[in-house]
Structure 1
Amino acid sequence: MNSSADLPPDLAAAHAIILAERTARLAAEARLAEAANAQKQSSTEALIAHLKLEIEKLRRTIYGAPSEWSARLLDQLELELEELEAGATEDELAAERAAGKMQTVRSFERRRPER
């Protein structure tokens, strides 16, 4: 913290210092947001590259010895790759997976016994 000796004597100088600090903080926050964006983009690109590699491996496996399981896995990976390349964010994918796991359950209604 600044001591009282470091503070400017007039209001205009103090206002200028506050504006300079605010500008520096906003610039730092912008750099941080840009770095986070770049990291998210690079992780998505790494996932795309990994999925492409897995698809190629499975294609080799499928054409060598036909396997229904491998064909389904290949289709699923290609679908996921298309979604990623289309620009789907990780949050959207997580929301879709969570929505897929949810089930609607009919409520229970108790009947009165017939006499």
Structure 2
Amino acid sequence: MSETNSGIPLIKFEMDMTQLRKAINEAVDQALERHSLAGSLPPVLNREQLMKFLDIKSTKASELMNRRDFPVIRELGHPKILTHLLMKWLEDHTEWVTENAGSGYKQVV
């Protein structure tokens, strides 16, 4: 393994153009989806918006909002959820990420 001028390790690997195009297209599609979704939601969600966004009923919304690790703010009168923290929470609690991405996984937002 060699290093760049800044001392960062340089990893070399081989990939054919079809694989490279597929990987790039998937990454771009995911980024576009993430940013278009995040851009269409208000920065702070109320209970009804949360229920609509997650397609859940009142009981499940109450269950989520009472979890210690759920990003709810109660200091604003009625409970509110910060959208960017909800997205992070959803990602952190997605089984696929835990089972497949490994410990080195870190999303760049």
TM band (smaller chain)? 0.3 to 0.5
TM-score, normalisation: structure 2: 0.32
TM-score, normalisation: structure 1: 0.31
Larger Rg: 1
